[in-house]
A and B are shown apart, each in its own frame.
Chain A
Amino acid sequence: MLNAPQSASRADQTLSLNMKLLAHHELAGFGGLGEGMGMQLTSDGRRILWLAHESAPKNFSGVDVTDPKNPKLIVQTELPHMKLRSNSLDVVGNIMVVAYQATTVGIKPAGIDIFDVSQPETPRLLSHFDCSGPYSRGVHAVWFVDGRYVHMSSGASDFQPRNPLDDQFYRIIDIIDPEKPVEVGRWWYPGTREGDEAPPPPRLPAKFDTGFRTHNTNVFPEQPNRAFVGYIDGGAVVLDISDMKNIKVVSQWNHSPPFNGFTHTVLPLFDRGLWIVSDECVQDNGADWPKLVWVVDSRNEANPVPIGTFPAPPYDAFAKRGGRFGAHNLHENLPGPTSFRSDTIIVGSFFNAGVRVYDTSNPYQVQEIAYFVPGAPKLSPAGAIQLNDVYVDDRRIVYTVDRFTGGLYILEMNI
């Protein structure tokens, strides 16, 4: 007798197309990682991948990935208490910036730490920039690529939001002296701060209301006077930051409503006049589906026009596979010597639908050209992989991390 037909689309099943697993590292049992990934090239020629943990007790880990088939954990640090998470970090040269966000407002420490990692085994704290306050949870995400300015999504002691969900806004910190960080600019969505003249923005239905606050705040050397901001329920916002004391809006595009909010990343492809905009899925079992990656024609900054979406992973195969299903982080074409950069190839993490690679050569008809969906990591409370973030290095090696227990997966793309 033949066995009964059985679907391979189970959470323990690994799926792959044109990607090969080179190595898997569970990070000494603390394999729950956030969305902070940065690569350092040390003076002795090693490549250290710095990873921010999703939640306490661990702060960040450094993994030597010089040989991507043989990653070595060289350092793993602790948070001061359990009501804190680091979630995000970035590294330039030997300077690393780490974000700290507390579980509720009013907790300390909350802000950013600046480390000297010239000896990666023993990171040395240079300074802490405090962002705590009666209405602040601290910093959710940092962007630090030029060695001077930290662009971040942060609360502040002097910032009282009208709605507690809107506590984090765009702040620019100058760390030209890494021991004395100073704020040099800020912008928040008009109407979200107590005392604003503008009326509060209309909110999404309660089921999808995730707040008018910043997520990614990216500034690229190609156009240093622009900040590309994922403003969560406020959509994609591009800001003119040529005068950091007087930041102005140049573009605004929001798909929600009718979509379900949470704009996460705005990734400009400068030479092509496009933005690639990712949502973040924040509810399990497809409850906030669809969470997509969008292609937006940005040739006219004042009038961004959506022209397509990336082909989404199949709903039937993933929505009920366990945990979240949908878009999240993109590899962001970081400047610097170790990052992959492409105008056409976009790599993203999609929680239980794994890491996926797209060719956007034809922006009206984006093609999926590779993917890797690891089988469910051991002991994962989601019961399925939850790939949270992705970084691609200049060797085109893909590093991706699980949100709960799976740790780091190192992959090779055949593209």
Chain B
Amino acid sequence: MTWSRDALAGKIPVTLVTGFLGSGKTTLISKLLLHSGMRRVAVVINEIGEIGIDHDLVTVSSENITLLANGCICCSVRTDLQETLRDLFAQRRVGEVFDFDRVIVETTGLADPAPVVQTLGSDTLLAAHYRLDGLITLVDGLHGVGQIDQQTEAVKQIAIADKILVTKTDLVMSDHLETLCGRIRQLNSQSPIEFIRQGEVDPKSLIDLGLSSSRASLKTLQFLGEALTDDAVSADVTGRYLGQKSSGHNAAVKTLSLRFTEPFEWLSFSSALELLTTLRGPDLLRLKGIVNVDGDPVVIQGVQHIIDTPVKMDRWPSDDKDSRLVFIVRNMEIDVIRNLFQAVGAIKSASISPT
């Protein structure tokens, strides 16, 4: 009886949409709510009044939950997000809200997404039934460059994103967009960038960004990004991703790719990671990777000091069995991190055999 459950398959994926004030979140959400591809999606928003839904499109509505004609559920946050997500699951289970298969959360403009990620991982009910699928960051096509220069929060939102949507692209010249993309790439070298106009986006492009199964497949490493392929690692060595064109206030944010050929013991690896998050949590913006733990593949993800529950895969997705980690960090050098993992990794747990 060897078959066992896929640790991730049953969890409802959650997409977080962030973006600096004025970056176009409300416009995006109001378009998204009416899109025909939003059946069985629950959208959690801050304030339903801001969105302005045509009453003709509303089929069922309760205190804070509205079912739209396209099968999308729009839910405004009542007290806090934690309680709202708990409520939504509980109401889904008893049939008080229609079954939804994924959730999209609009975070407030100034909110740091890390606490939301922490909530998903630490609340036992939420951790059992939801998983973070991806962080989407909206960047204002018009004011993005200025915000990157002046607002550390905007920098962080870009650095941790799994996907970046540049808005208002109809209002700016293409060379301005080029400059903006260059600045985004310095902060986040891997995540796809998409240009959008007037909030028009296909919901499909907002989903399936994360790891959705603990069964390895061709898709497994997609979410880890290109830095994990052989090409990218060599590119890393030559500095392709390391932001050599330093400029602005945020050259300190960079993407670091590390590869280790020696397998880790779980205790050594987790101790090294814990040390890193304890000492430099605020500067560790994002972490993704696949780690060889005594021969087994384990996927690791983290947002700042919040490290997701590691997922042991059923097998290696390819012949490459090296541990590969991608860090997005602030004010840290690659050697420091490499040395830390090598040093701690070298300390094996004591052998128990009596001598």
Contact = CB atoms under 8 A, between A and B. Distances in A.
Interface in B68-116: 92-99
Contacts of A342: 1, 3-4
Contacts, number: 73
Contact of A2 (B3, B55, B96): B55
B58 interface: yes
Interface in B1-28: 1, 3-6, 9-10
A322 to B, nearest CB: 13
Given A361-B5, A369-B5, A415-B6, A5 B95 contact: no
Nearest to B124: A365
A15 B128 CA distance: 19
B61 interface: yes
A359 B95 contact: no
B94 A314 contact: yes
Contact of B59 (A3, A317, A369, A370): A3
B182 to A, nearest CB: 41
Interface string A1-31: 1110111111001111110000000000000
A414 B61 contact: no
Scoring B3, B66, B95 by chain A CB atoms within 10 A of each residue's CB, the highest score goes to B95
Given A1-B55, A367-B128, A370-B10, A6 B5 contact: no
Contacts of A14: 99
A86 interface: no
Contacts of B128: 367
Nearest to B99: A16
Given A8-B98, A370-B10, A345 B61 contact: no
B233 to A, nearest CB: 34
Scoring A7, A8, A16, A414 by chain B CB atoms within 10 A of each residue's CB, the highest score goes to A8
B94 A333 contact: no
Given A2-B58, A18-B10, A414-B10, A8 B97 contact: yes
A414 B5 contact: no
B262 to A, nearest CB: 31
Nearest to B53: A2
B93 A314 contact: yes
Given A9-B94, A18-B9, A333-B1, A2 B99 contact: no
The binding surface of chain B is classed by DSSP as loop
Contacts of B96: 7-9, 317
- The contact size tier of chain B is 20 to 34
Given A2-B58, A5-B61, A415-B10, A13 B95 contact: yes
Contact of A5 (B62, B94, B98): B62
Nearest to A333: B1
Nearest to A315: B94
B3 A3 contact: no
Contacts of A344: 4-5
B346 interface: no
B60 A17 contact: no
Interface in B38-61: 55, 58-61
Contacts of B94: 9, 314, 316-317
Given A3-B61, A415-B6, A8 B95 contact: yes
Interface in A221-270: none
A341 interface: yes
A343 B61 CA distance: 43
The binding surface of chain A is classed by DSSP as loop
A271 interface: yes
Nearest to A321: B95
Interface in A298-325: 314, 316-317
B1 A271 contact: yes
Nearest to A394: B3
Contact of B95 (A9, A333, A345, A369): A9
B1 A359 contact: no
B42 to A, nearest CB: 13
A183 B42 CA distance: 59
Contacts of A314: 93-94
A304 B17 CA distance: 51
A2 to B, nearest CB: 4
A2 B10 CA distance: 34
Contacts of B59: 3
Contacts of B3: 340-342, 345, 396
Interface in A356-392: 359, 361, 367, 369-370
A415 B128 CA distance: 13
A9 B97 CA distance: 8
Contacts of A3: 58-61
A343 B1 contact: yes
Contacts of B92: 17
A2 B55 CA distance: 7
A317 B10 CA distance: 22
A410 B93 CA distance: 21
Contacts of B63: 5
Contacts of B61: 2-3, 5
Contacts of A415: 5-6, 9-10
Nearest to A371: B93
A5 B94 CA distance: 15
A376 to B, nearest CB: 13
Contacts of A369: 5, 10
B58 A359 contact: no
Contacts of B95: 7-10, 13, 15, 317
B208 to A, nearest CB: 14
A312 to B, nearest CB: 11
Given A8-B98, A344-B4, A414-B10, 19 more contacts: A2-B55, A2-B66, A5-B63, A7-B95, A8-B96, A9-B94, A9-B95, A13-B95, A13-B98, A17-B92, A17-B93, A317-B93, A317-B95, A333-B1, A342-B3, A343-B1, A361-B5, A369-B10, A415-B6
22 contacts: A2-B58, A8-B95, A9-B94, A9-B95, A9-B96, A13-B95, A13-B98, A16-B99, A271-B1, A316-B94, A317-B93, A317-B96, A340-B3, A342-B3, A344-B5, A345-B3, A345-B4, A345-B5, A396-B3, A414-B6, A415-B5, A415-B9
Interface of A: 1-3, 5-10, 13-18, 271, 314, 316-317, 333, 340-345, 359, 361, 367, 369-370, 396, 414-415
The 5 closest A-B pairs by CB, nearest first: A9-B95, A317-B94, A5-B62, A343-B1, A2-B61
